[in-house]
Amino acid sequence: MKDKVRRGARHPSKADATSLISGKDAVGNKQHEDSSFSVKIQGAGVEPFELEVRGFWLVQDAVMTLLLRDDVFPRSNLLLALAGMTLDPLAELQSLKGLKPGAVLRLVEEPYTARSARLHLARVLELLRAPGPQDALREGRSPSILETLTQTPDSNLPNGKSLKRSLSNTKTETTKPDGVAPEYLLPGSSERPLMALLPHSSQPESPSYLRDLCLSCWNPAPGHRKLQGDFLYITVVTMEGRRCEITSCPKGFFLNRSTEDMFDPRPVQSSPVCHNFTDLLCHISPAFKQTLTALKNRSQLPPVELMPTPYHTLSWLGPPCASRSHKNNFSRLGVEEQPATQAPDWNEELQAARDLPQGSMEERLQRDRAVLQVNGAFVRAVMQGAETVADGFAEPVNGNPDDPAFLWGGLFMSQGAANAIFGGDRGRRAAQRLELKGVQAYSDIEGLQGLHTLPTAIVDYRGVRLSAQGLAPGLEASDQDQGTTPASRGLLYGVTAGPQESPHRRRLLERLAHSAKCLSLQRHVVVGPKDHKVPLFTSVDAQGLLGADGRFYILDVFRTFPADANFCPEVETESLTVPEEDESKTSGGEEKEKEGCLKEGWPENYHSVSGLPRSFSHGLCRLRPELVQAFIQHKHCQFTQCVRETLDANGGFEECATACDSRATQAVRVACKEVGSISDIIFEMRFNPSVFSPEISFPAGESKSIKLQETLLREAAAFIITHQIPDFLEFCRQSNEAPMDGVSLKQALHQRGINLRYLGHVITTIGQSQHKDSLRHIMRLVVGEVFTRSARRVFNSFLQGVDVPSVSAAVSHFLCCLLVPHFTPAPLCDETKKKSRRRGRGSGASESTPWSMLAGAELWNLVCQDAAETYNISDSLGPGPNHLVEHYGLQKLSLLREFCLKTGVQLRLRDYILDNQNKAPIGPDDILNIFPVVKHVHMPTVDASKAYRAAQNFIQKGLLDQAHEHLKEATYLFGRVCDDLHIEACYCHSLLAKVSFKQGRAAEARSVQLKAVVISERVLGFDHPNTIHQYALLGVYVFAGGETALAQKCLLRARLLMLTVHGEDHPYTATLDSCLGLVLSGDQRGKFLENALRLNTSFFGPANLHTALTQQLLAQWMCSKGDYRSGMSHQKEALTAFTSMFGEDHPQSRCSKEFLCTITKQAVKVERSLRQAGAECAEQTVENLSPTRAAMLEQMALLTGIKSITHRNGLQEYRKKHTELKAAVAKELGFLVGDELVTPPTVNGEVKSSGQEAGSRKSAEDGGSPAAENTNEGQQEPLVEETTMKSAATAFVNGHVMQPAQANGHGETTDVDAGDSEGANSEGKEEDGEYEAGAAGQEAGNSTPNGVNSHTVNGEMESQSVEVNGAMNGAGDVPVSPSVLKSKGTWADVVSKPLGGRDTAVNGVGGKVTANGRVQE
C-alpha cells in the first residue's frame, strides 16, 4: 500500500497538542509526558527551529514529524545526525548518548533511489495541488461550511489563522450584531434556496504555480544514461512561458539541455543540482518563488478540515459551474501510477493488520489505526473498481453472462447468481447485503481470535450492485487436486465438507462454538446432500476453510441471523400440513387454528389484525441483531416474572429464596421451559438460523427442538409489531429530536431492530393511532422513505437500458418525470439538436430511445406498484407527487435530496423550481456525476470507545470531573486512531463540549464544539441531521462567550438545513425557533417564539415541558415590550403546565408562580400610573423585566437538552423507603449493610465525617459501587445530586435574577442533567444543618449504587437512572422520571434475613445479592 510507511507513524505532533489523561493501561503515559524535551533542528536548507520530542519516539518518528512541518514540506529523503553521526531510524531517542534538551540535530540529505525520487515528486504534487474551497464538491465529498461562518475581518493577514483563531478566541465581539434573519428563514416562508446551503468560502482558490508539469517525451532514460544515474526526465512550463527539461538523479534534480526536438542530457552550466525539486523551480521561475512564498504565508485551516476522511461522504450538490472549476492537477507527471507489478493482496493486508499485537494500549492503537487505514484503502479501491467495471475496462473472468465476475486491483467483484429460491434479482441484492452484515457480526465479536473474514464491501453504481471481496488463499485447488477430499483442499466445515476429523477441524469448531454463543445461535443438525447428519454452529450455507496462510476463514454468512417468520408464509403453510395418522388427534383444533392462532407463538388474532405472515418479494427476510438482543431482554423480563410468580405460589418469594430446598431451583426450571430457554437450569436464549428455510431438512430426532425454535421465531417476529414499532412511535411522540430525514429514520428503526420492510406497518400503526396528528412528521418521513426507495429500484432498472453518452439526459428525464406531475418531454427541434451537436453531446435524445419515451404517469405507476409489493400499501402514495405535498406536507426538494443520496447522483448547485410542467426543471447539464455508493464493514476503535462509554457512565452518576477526564482521553485516542474523522469521535467531542459547559468552561466547550461541527460535516454530511444538532449546540456555546452574531449565524444555519432536509413542521424546528427568539432582536423574536409555541402545542400539547418553556419565553418577550396582559396570559399557561408536570412544590412551579405575581404587580403599577399621571409618567415607572444574559443562556441550555428538569418525588420516596428498610434490617440483625457499619442515628442531624465521601469518590473512580448511603437519611431531607439550575427556577424583575423561595429552610434544587451547572467541583450549602456538599453526584453514589435505583415492579428488575444520556446523535440527554414503587416486595426484601454468604446462580450468572439490592455479577 501507499501508506505503509505512514501507518507505522505515531503522529507525535498530535501528542504535542494533547496530553493523554487517565487510563489504567496507558503504557506509562505519565513517564512519556515527563520524558518530552526540546531539540534544535538545522541544516538541509531549512531555517533553524526547535522541535518538541518524546523520549520513547523512534528516530523515524521524529523524521516523520519533521516532514509534516510546513517549513520542511515537501522535502523528503532526510536523515538526522547528532555530532556528525547519522542516527539509526529504528533507535529510540532516549537511548541515544549525548541527546539531551537543547541538543542540535542536523538534517542530512540522503541520496535518492528511483522509487524515492518518485515519492518526492508525489509530495511536490501534493503541494501544487493545495486544497481549494471547491475541491470537495468537485470530488463529490461533503465540504465543511463552518469556516464561512466563523471568518473574521483579519483572516487575510499574513499567517492569519481564521478558523484556528476562532477555535481559541473567547473574547466578546466588539461589533454590534444586526440580528436580522433573511426572509427565506422566517417562519411560514416557502422559499428553499439551495445557493444558501453552500456559501462561498473565504479561503482563496489555490494559485497557479506552473502552466504544466509532466513527464518528458524522452522517457524512459536510455541504457547508457541509466548507468550514469538518470531516473526520470521531467518537462516544466513556467508561468513566464519558459519550457525546461529537468533530470532526476541520485543527488537531486538539475536542468538539462534537451528540447522538444533534440535529446541532450548534459546539465546546463548555470544549473545547480538541488535535492529539493521546488528549490530548482524557484531558481528557474521567479513567479513560482513568489507564489510559493504567498502560499506559506496564507491562513491555514485546521488539520481536521484538510485531512482526507477514511471513507467517502457523498455530497449531493456540486459546484455551480463544474467546467470552470476543473483545473490542471498535473496528473501527466505519472508519479502516482502504480508500476506494473502484482495487485495488492487486500486480504493479507487486512489479516496482517488484525494480527498485530494487542498487549499494551500503544500496540492496540497502532493495530486499530492500521486496520482502519487498510479498510479505508480497500473501500476506495472498491469505488475505483466499480467505475472500472461499469466503464468496460475490466473483462469478466468467467463465461457466465448472467453472473459476470471480475478480477481487478486485487478485488473479486461479482453481481451474484440469481437464485429462484431466494427471489431472483431482489434476492440476489438481499444476499449481498446480508453477507456484509454477517461479516460485520463476526468481525465485531470481542475476544474471538483465529477466525477470520474476508474484506468485504458492496457497491451500487449506475443501477448495478457489485459485491467486492479480497482474494482468500487456498480456496481453489489445482487440477491434480480435484479428486482429493475437501479437507486436503482446505474445506473443514460446512454441509458439503463431508464427515472428517482433524486437529485443524477441532480448533475451527471451537472458534465457531464461541462465535455461536456470542451471536445467540443454536447448535443444530441438518441432513446433508448424501443423507448424512451434519452438526452446525452457523447457517447452513456457511463454510469454514483453512487457508494457505494457515488462518481459518468463514465464508457465505448471509443467513447468519434467524429468519423473520412474518414473511415466511409458504413455510408456515407447509408446517400446517398434518399426516394422515394424526388427523384424528388434531381435527378438533382445526377451526380454532383457522380463526385465530394458526400456530403456537402467534398472538391471538394476529393475522387478522396485522395481515402477517405474508409473502415478500424475496426469500431472505432475516431478523436484525438488534431485534434479537431486544427480544432476549424481553424474554429475560418474562423469565424473572415467571420465577417470581412461581415462588410466590410456593410459599412466598422471600422464603423460597432463603430456604435450602429445591423450590427455587424448580421455579427456575419452570421459567426456563416457559420462555423457551435451551437450558433448563439457566436462562439462555439461542436461535436456529436454519428454521423456516424450505430447502433444509432436519433429522426426525430434532422435531421437538425445531418446533420450539419455530415458536420462538414467531414470538420474535410478533414482538416487532406488538412492542418495537409502538415503542418507536412513542419515543417519536415524546421527543423533540425525532428523525428528520431518511437516514436518521433508518438509523432509529434499526436501533430497535425494525427492518425497513416494516415501513408499511409503521404507516398503518400511525394511521390507527389516536396521536396521529402528533406523529405527522414521522408519517411524512415514512411515506417519503417508501417513495424514494421504490423510486430507486425503478431507477436501477431504468438505467440498464441507457447507453453511456445519454446517462445525464436520461437521469434528468427520470427526475423530471418523478417529481413533476404529468410531465411530458417536448419533442426536440432541429435547432436544439444542432446545438447539442455543437456542444459535443451528439444528437441528443431521439424519439426511438426507450428511456426518452417514459412519461410521468407511467413512472408513477411503476413506483406505486413497487411500493405495494414491498410495503403492502395500496393508496398511500396517491395519484401523483402533488398528493405527497398536499396530503403529507412532503417537500419535493427533500425528496430530491433523498433520491440523490441513495443513488449517488450529484446535482449542480442552483435553485430548482420543481413545479414547472412546461419546461424541464432539471436538465442534462445539471447532472454533474454519479458516484458509487459503498456499504462496508465498520472497524472498531476499541480503547477510544471504551473510554467514551466509561465517560457516559460517569455522567449518569453525576461525576462530571471523571467524565471530563475520560472524554479527554477518548478524544486523544480517537485522534491517534482516526485523526478524529470518525462518527463516534464526533459524538465524543460533542459530549465533551457539553460536560465542559456544565462545569462552567464555556471557552473550552466552544472550542471543542467547533471541532465537532467540522467532523460532522465532513464525516456524516454538511446537511446531516446530526450536523443540525451540532450547529444548535455551537450556537449556545458561542452565545455563552458573548458572540451573539456568531450564535445567530449558527442557529440560522441550523434552521436553513432543517428547512431543506425536512421542512418547518417538525418538533426540532420549535427548539431552533425558541433559541432564535432569545438571540435575535426586534419583532422577529416574536415571530420565531410564536411559531415555536404553535409547533410545540401541536406536537406535544399544552401540558409539556417544551410548550411550557416556550410560553414562558413569550411571556418574557411580551413583558419586555410592555404588553403585560399578553404576558400574564402566557405565563398562566406555563404555570398550569409546570404544576401539572411537577406539582406545586417543585422549584420550577414556584418560580413560575412568582414570575406571574411579578408580572401582575407590574401590570397593576402601570395601570395605576396611567390613571393617575398619564402615559408619560407611566413610561417612566415601567421597570425592565427582560431576562439577563445568564438567564437567557440557561434557558437555551434547557431548550437544546444540554440541561434538563426531572421529577424528584418518586426518587425521594423510593430512597426514603429504601433507607427505612435498611435501618430496620440493621436494627434487627446488626450486620454490615452495603459495606458500611450500621450506627445509631446521629445527633442534631449532623452528617458524619467526609471520609465516607472520599471513599465513595475513590470507589466510583475505580469503577466500583460507591459506599452505601448514611443511615440517618430517614431523618433529614434526601440530598439531591445536582446543583441548582438558576434559570429553571428564576423570576426576572428589574433585569435581575430572583432566587426561588426556600421552603422550610431547605434548599431543594432542580435536577440538571446528571450534575450540571457549576459541575462536580461546585459546593452547595443547605441552611438547615450547615451541610457542605462535595462533588456533584457523589452523594447520589452514596445513596444509590452506580447512580441507578433498582427495584422490582411486577416482578421485573427495572433501573431508574437520574438521566439517560443517548439521544439520536449519541450525546443527547433524555430525562427519565423515576416511578413510585408499585409492589410491596423488593429485592432488598431478600436480604432482610441472613443469607449465610450463599451465592445464587440465576440466568446463567452467579451473583451475590448485597444488602443494598445490587446484584454483583
Per-residue burial over 865-900, b = 16 or more CB atoms within 10 Å of its CB, e = otherwise: ebbbebbbbeebbbebbebbbeebbbbbbbbbbbbb
* pLDDT at 1263 (0 to 100): 39
**What share of the chain has pLDDT > 70, as a percent?**
73
Q: Residue 974: is its pLDDT beyond 70?
A: yes
Q: Which residue stretches of 598-685 are H helix?
A: 606-610, 625-649, 653-658, 663-675
Average pLDDT over residues 1052-1059: 97
What are 232's three cell numbers? 526520470
The whole-angstrom separation of Cα 309 and Cα 376 is 9
Q: Residue 788: is its pLDDT beyond 50?
A: yes
Q: What is the DSSP string of 1224-1262?
A: HHHHHH---BTTB---PPPGGGPPPPTHHHHHHHHHHHT
* pLDDT at 1223 (0 to 100): 78
- Kindly report the length of the chain: 1417
Q: Residue 1239: is its pLDDT beyond 80?
A: no
Average pLDDT over residues 1149-1166: 90
More confident residue, 1247 or 652: 652
- Cell 451473583 identifies what position? 1407
Contact (Cβ atoms closer than 8 angstroms) between residue 784 and residue 1063: no
* pLDDT at 743 (0 to 100): 96
Where is mean pLDDT largest: 302-306, 324-328, 527-531, 569-573? 527-531
φ/ψ of residue 232, rounded to 5: -140, 155
Rg (CA), the chain: 35
At 1096 the three-state DSSP class reads helix
Q: What is the DSSP letter of 622?
A: B
What are 672's three cell numbers? 426456563
More confident residue, 902 or 341: 902
Stretch among 528-532, 1046-1050, 1275-1279 having the lowest mean pLDDT: 1275-1279
Q: Which residue stretches of 681-824 are H helix?
A: 703-719, 725-734, 742-751, 759-768, 776-799, 807-819
At 827 the three-state DSSP class reads coil
Average pLDDT over residues 756-761: 96
Q: Angle CA(796)–CA(802)–CA(806) in degrees, nearest 5?
A: 125
Q: Name the residue type at position 1087.
A: K
φ/ψ of residue 875, rounded to 5: -115, 15
**Model pLDDT for residues 385-417, shown as the tens digit of each residue:** 999 999 888 989 987 777 889 999 999 999 887
Closest CA to 1290 of 1148, 1106, 1188: 1148
H/E run at residue 1373? strand 1373-1375
More confident residue, 547 or 830: 547
Where is mean pLDDT largest: 34-48, 513-527, 913-927? 513-527
* pLDDT at 180 (0 to 100): 85
Average pLDDT over residues 1372-1389: 36
Pairing of the two strands 552-555 and 451-452: parallel
Contact (Cβ atoms closer than 8 angstroms) between residue 1141 and residue 1109: no
Beta strand residue intervals within 91-229, DSSP E: 104-109, 210-215
Burial class (CB in 10 A: 0-12, 13-18, 19+), 750: middle
Measured torsion, CA atoms of residues 1186, 1188, 1194, 1196, in degrees rounded to the nearest 10: 50
Where is mean pLDDT largest: 86-90, 580-584, 767-771? 767-771
Q: Read off the pLDDT band of 698 (50, 70, 90).
A: very high
Q: Which residue stretches of 650-724 are H helix?
A: 653-658, 663-675, 703-719
* pLDDT at 477 (0 to 100): 42
* pLDDT at 57 (0 to 100): 85
Q: Name the residue type at position 1049.
A: K
Q: Read off the pLDDT band of 624 (50, 70, 90).
A: very high
Q: Which residue stretches of 981-1024 are H helix?
A: 983-998, 1002-1019
Closest CA to 779 of 985, 1054, 1062: 1062
**What share of the chain has pLDDT > 90, as a percent?**
48
Q: Read off the pLDDT band of 1214 (50, 70, 90).
A: low
Q: Residue 952: is its pLDDT beyond 90?
A: yes
Q: Residue 926: is its pLDDT beyond 70?
A: yes
Q: Residue 1364: is its pLDDT beyond 60?
A: no
Q: Residue 843: is its pLDDT beyond 60?
A: no
Contact (Cβ atoms closer than 8 angstroms) between residue 402 and residue 418: yes
Q: Read off the pLDDT band of 61 (50, 70, 90).
A: confident
* pLDDT at 243 (0 to 100): 92
Spatial CB neighbours of 347, under 8 Å, sequence gap ≥ 6: 454, 455, 470, 471, 472, 473
Q: Angle CA(317)–CA(321)–CA(327) in degrees, nearest 5?
A: 105
φ/ψ of residue 513, rounded to 5: -65, -40
The whole-angstrom separation of Cα 988 and Cα 1008 is 10
For the beta sheet containing 210-215, the strands, ordered from the edge strand earlier in sequence to the opposite edge, are 210-215, 232-238, 243-249, 252-255
The whole-angstrom separation of Cα 2 and Cα 22 is 35
* pLDDT at 17 (0 to 100): 33
* pLDDT at 201 (0 to 100): 63
The CA distances from residue 1214 to 25, 637, 1268, 1275, in Å, are 38, 21, 15, 15
The whole-angstrom separation of Cα 247 and Cα 233 is 5
Average pLDDT over residues 272-283: 91
Q: Residue 831: is its pLDDT beyond 60?
A: no
Stretch among 119-133, 257-271, 1192-1206 having the lowest mean pLDDT: 119-133
* pLDDT at 1412 (0 to 100): 34
Q: Residue 70: is its pLDDT beyond 60?
A: yes
The CA distances from residue 1036 to 918, 1076, 1193, 1247, 1346, in Å, are 46, 10, 7, 39, 30
Q: What is the DSSP letter of 261?
A: S
- Average pLDDT, rounded, for the chain: 78
The whole-angstrom separation of Cα 649 and Cα 645 is 6
**Model pLDDT for residues 1215-1234, shown as the tens digit of each residue:** 667 777 777 777 666 554 44
Stretch among 131-145, 529-543, 1221-1235 having the lowest mean pLDDT: 1221-1235
Pairing of the two strands 1373-1375 and 1363-1365: antiparallel
* pLDDT at 1300 (0 to 100): 38
Check the CA dihedral 901-903-909-913 and report its sign: negative
Stretch among 117-131, 250-264, 985-999 having the lowest mean pLDDT: 117-131
**Model pLDDT for residues 157-212, shown as the tens digit of each residue:** 333 334 443 444 433 333 344 568 999 999 999 999 999 998 876 555 666 778 88
At 735 the three-state DSSP class reads coil
The whole-angstrom separation of Cα 120 and Cα 111 is 12
**Model pLDDT for residues 501-510, shown as the tens digit of each residue:** 889 999 999 9
* pLDDT at 766 (0 to 100): 96
Residue 907: beta bridge partners?
A: 317, 927
Contact (Cβ atoms closer than 8 angstroms) between residue 241 and residue 224: no
The end-to-end CA distance of the chain, in Å, is: 46
Q: Which residue stretches of 878-935 are H helix?
A: 881-888, 892-903
**Model pLDDT for residues 650-667, shown as the tens digit of each residue:** 877 777 767 777 888 889
Per-residue burial over 825-859, b = 16 or more CB atoms within 10 Å of its CB, e = otherwise: beebeeeebeebeeeebeebbeeebebbebebeeb
Q: Angle CA(17)–CA(20)–CA(26) in degrees, nearest 5?
A: 145
More confident residue, 1173 or 95: 95
The CA distances from residue 1088 to 199, 377, 958, 1109, in Å, are 24, 47, 34, 14
- Cell 488484525 identifies what position? 354
The whole-angstrom separation of Cα 904 and Cα 910 is 18
Where is mean pLDDT largest: 529-533, 848-852, 934-938? 934-938
- Cell 449493610 identifies what position? 1233
- Cell 515527563 identifies what position? 34
Stretch among 191-200, 256-265, 331-340 having the lowest mean pLDDT: 331-340
For the beta sheet containing 464-470, the strands, ordered from the edge strand earlier in sequence to the opposite edge, are 405-408, 411-414, 464-470, 456-461, 933-936
